[in-house]
Structure 1
Amino acid sequence: MRRGGDGGEGQGLLAQLRNPPGGRNARIMLLALAVDRTGSGLWAASSVLYLTFVTQLSAQQIGVLLGTAGVAGIAGSPLAGRLAGRFPVRPLLIGCHLLRLVTLALVLVCSDFGALLPVIAVTYVGDRAAKTLEMLFATRTAGERRAAYQALSRSAANAGYGVGAGIAAIGLAVGTTGAYRALILGNALSFVVAAVLVWRTDEARERTLEVARSGAPAGDGREAPVGDGREVLAGDGREAPVRRTGPWRDRGYLRFALLDIPMNLDDSILAVGLPLWLVERTSAPHALVPAFLVINTVLVVVLQLSVSKRAEGPRRATRAVLLYGVLTFVCCGCLAAAALVGTWAAAALLLAAALLVTLAELMRSVSSWELAVLLAPEDSRAAYLGVAGMSQSIQKSAGPPLLTGAVMAAGPVGWLVLGTAVAGLSAVQQRSCARRLGIDEPRTEPALQAG
């Protein structure tokens, strides 16, 4: 394996940011994404304290408020996908930014729980819709290099989020009502700037459907496009016409979206499982908690571009799903063992778990998007991607209570059960996707080569 310590990866990242897949449109969208996520970092770091000290809500009210908003946000992805199938993506994305601008302005003038509940719920709907529209815009702009664009977008998003969190730290250190309001205004301002940047792009054209309609081989000729109205039969490899009336009646795609929910659990494991498990069930020093986020951020920035190149295309994307399950299983094993050993052994196991869950996240970040696009019929891609976008939203709502209420309550055995379940479901997902895409097991091409 090549070592990344010589700066090659960093130079590659900078070069790609200057000339990303998709050219000018992609460059502007990456900047808009970084600005948007800077605002998200401000909100994430300050929202709970703002609601506590400025609006005077109780902890229970804040929990209900954010929990309800998270559930409401699930509707944002399919709604955006449905609208994007009928209207251009660019004005829809601008509309999402402006919608969140209005709702954030209302947050500043509302102090009653009953008034804040629908306002923040709509904010979360707009947030999830914007993420789906960004994905769809990138898919149309970057084309076959969407995995490389996804890597760049994650780097831009992480950078923006980190900047936002850093700015928020200054405001929180001041701790006055004015400082809290300034942070919320900063988030609102990010939506204005992002909307202006999106307005400067040209609407990405839909890819033509002549290839799909003619039945000609796609790309390198190894497989037929999913969107051409044919589906490979499991028994003898023959193809039969399939009538699709949309993602909600496409059982194969719904199965992919459903199985993709546990394929996003790395997010909750890193943000909730690791720190709470360290504090409650191990003797490791609490000072390790910030290290988990540092490990995650650094590795994502350094490795994301490299990993994306090794997960492009249907064969490698399906293999990445399987590797996700293996990495998550080993991560859960480390967490289970950390509760059974001494202080420094527990610390080492928890740091290993942070490393493994980050590697799993890298696998998921490219495979989920790549497969969501590949499995969708090209002429209905917007609606299909809207359904696929629900997986992450559902996980964000269901993942934390699953970990705290079931997995961690069961002790080390709970982590082993979770790891086994995710590994098993990843194998099911891999096989299901490979069958739908008509991919036979490759005999000569190793997946995710070490380079």
Structure 2
Amino acid sequence: MLLALAVDRTGSGLWAASSVLYLTFVTHLSAQQIGVLLGAAGVAGIAGSPLAGRLAGRFPVRPLLIGCHLVRPATLTLVLLCTGFETLLSVVAVTYLGDRAAKTLEMLFATRAAGERRAAYQALSRSAANAGYGVGAGLAAIGLAVGTTDAYRALILGNALSFVVAAALVWRTGEPGGRTREVARTGGAVAAPGVVTSGRPKGPWRDRGYLRFVLLDIPMNLDDSVLGVGLPLWLVSRTSAPHALVPAFLVINTVLVVVLQLAVSKRAEGPHRAVRAVLLYGVLMFVCCALAAGAAGCGTWAAAAVLLAAAVLVTMAELMRSVSSWELAVLLAPPDERAAYLGVAGMAQSIQKSAGPPLLTGVVMAAGPVGWLVLGTVVAGLAVAQQRSCASRLGLGAAPDPAHAEPVPAQRQ
């Protein structure tokens, strides 16, 4: 399954690095059309997570995941055949819908396969995914260096091929234990302490407590936009740091995630550590935003050093969030409806991907250094709110859980 995940993300890396240039130089769309197309496709992708969760509650995960993998080669082949904006809009929207559904199904598969070791498995899966994404981006760089129409089309075909291979790898993987085993293990009750099923509304859309968690989890995913949009644009527009430093942000992120994700996951395993990790995320994001604000008043090399430090901190925040967010989404969901609940939880990341970049460019960066400080303060405050909300729902009072009362070991550097 980890190999399938790495192959999947290799294709995603190819698409991310080449799609805009393909749409520009091969299909000849304008910058405005590309923005509308990708934005609308991102909005369509939001529906992928709850749709996948609902289906996974009724059908086995493996055939659903194979189906999502096979939908995308079909739509990407249509991308090569279509030239009109309206047609491309619908095709790319379906591609994004399948992409988000596949990501949710992959996490459901991992949750069921790993059981109580889901945090460690999540860490391994993120390391595999980031490694694959880096390979895909590297392969795309070769094609982009050639720069011909055939080279751009070859990259799109390479993306489509990666999903076919991923589907074949998933087909060879056994179906994980699912809904029946989860209910049997917990006797039909919620596994996490303090979550009561009696009187709880049926389904995630009527569960206000869980919807509050998902709503608060949207800004808990802003590290993605800060790294990919905020820091690069801030560097080139408001500091004198060398522009060649921008790729280093992605390199730092990829290397740290691959090397440290498994070790960091130990900080978010179990309810107590997962809840504490939310607070640490808020602290890391606040310091990162403060550094970004301060970089505007620094000289060339000082600004470069400060922004590199901010990239390290936002990556560490991502490491904490990527495990704790899913761990809490699982712990807060009743086992007998876990697939549907996790499908709704998966919307947080999709919504952030659509709303995060405009927030950073249109509000935070427009306000200057003050905008960064306000962003860091708001995210830290929301982290406290989410920590308290999750602790209350999980029944984590003053008395520590003996299984998780030991101090968290220091992170190796």
Partners of 2:364 and 2:375 within 8 A in 1: yes
1:100 corresponds to 2:84: no
**Over residues 393-429 of structure 1, what are the superposed CA-to-partner deviations in whole Å (9 max), with x where a residue is unaligned?**
0000000000000000001110010000000000000
Superposed, 1:44-443 pairs within 5 Å as: 44-206=16-178, 207-213=181-187, 224=193, 226=195, 229=197, 241-441=198-398
| Matched residue type, 1:212 | T
| Matched residue type, 2:309 | A
Aligned with 1:86: secondary structure?
coil
Partners of 2:11 and 2:136 within 8 A in 1: yes
Greater mean deviation of Cα atoms: 101-110 or 281-290: 281-290
Alpha-carbon distance between aligned partners in 2 of 1:442 and 1:163, rounded to the nearest angstrom: 46
| Matched residue type, 2:394 | L
Alpha-carbon distance between aligned partners in 1 of 2:300 and 2:22, rounded to the nearest angstrom: 36
Alpha-carbon distance between aligned partners in 1 of 2:34 and 2:73, rounded to the nearest angstrom: 21
Alpha-carbon distance between aligned partners in 2 of 1:225 and 1:379, rounded to the nearest angstrom: 16
Alpha-carbon distance between aligned partners in 2 of 1:387 and 1:350, rounded to the nearest angstrom: 34
Alpha-carbon distance between aligned partners in 1 of 2:227 and 2:43, rounded to the nearest angstrom: 21
| Matched residue type, 2:301 | W
Alpha-carbon distance between aligned partners in 2 of 1:104 and 1:137, rounded to the nearest angstrom: 25
Runs of 4+ aligned structure 1 residues displaced above 6 Å come to: none
Aligned with 2:200: secondary structure?
coil
Greater mean deviation of Cα atoms: 205-214 or 376-385: 205-214
Partners of 1:335 and 1:349 within 8 A in 2: yes
**Over residues 92-134 of structure 1, what are the superposed CA-to-partner deviations in whole Å (9 max), with x where a residue is unaligned?**
0011011111101110100110110100000000000000000
Mark the runs of 5 or more structure 2 residues left unpaired by the alignment: none
Alpha-carbon distance between aligned partners in 1 of 2:408 and 2:369, rounded to the nearest angstrom: 31
**Over residues 370-400 of structure 1, what are the superposed CA-to-partner deviations in whole Å (9 max), with x where a residue is unaligned?**
0010000000000000000000000000000
| Matched residue type, 1:145 | R
Q: How far is the alpha carbon of 1:173 from its aligned partner? A: 1.1
Partners of 2:239 and 2:300 within 8 A in 1: yes
Alpha-carbon distance between aligned partners in 1 of 2:201 and 2:349, rounded to the nearest angstrom: 24
Give the number of equivalent residue pairs: 406
Partners of 2:188 and 2:335 within 8 A in 1: no
TM-score relative to the length of structure 2: 0.95
The 1:360–1:446 alpha-carbon spacing in structure 2 relative to 1, beyond 3 Å, is farther
Q: How far is the alpha carbon of 1:311 from its aligned partner? A: 1.4
Mark the runs of 5 or more structure 1 residues left unpaired by the alignment: 1-28, 230-240
TM-score relative to the length of structure 1: 0.88
Partners of 1:84 and 1:382 within 8 A in 2: yes
**Over residues 200-238 of structure 1, what are the superposed CA-to-partner deviations in whole Å (9 max), with x where a residue is unaligned?**
1121122242353376x95xxxx6373x61xxxxxxxxx
Partners of 1:311 and 1:448 within 8 A in 2: no
Alpha-carbon distance between aligned partners in 1 of 2:278 and 2:367, rounded to the nearest angstrom: 27
Partners of 1:46 and 1:168 within 8 A in 2: yes
Alpha-carbon distance between aligned partners in 2 of 1:310 and 1:380, rounded to the nearest angstrom: 27
Greater mean deviation of Cα atoms: 388-397 or 297-306: 297-306
Q: How far is the alpha carbon of 1:344 from its aligned partner? A: 2.1
Aligned with 2:187: secondary structure?
helix
Alpha-carbon distance between aligned partners in 1 of 2:295 and 2:12, rounded to the nearest angstrom: 33
Alpha-carbon distance between aligned partners in 1 of 2:408 and 2:136, rounded to the nearest angstrom: 33
**1:449 corresponding residue in structure 2:** 409
Q: How well do the aligned residues superpose, as a CA RMSD in angstroms?
A: 1.5
Partners of 1:244 and 1:250 within 8 A in 2: yes
Partners of 2:210 and 2:332 within 8 A in 1: yes
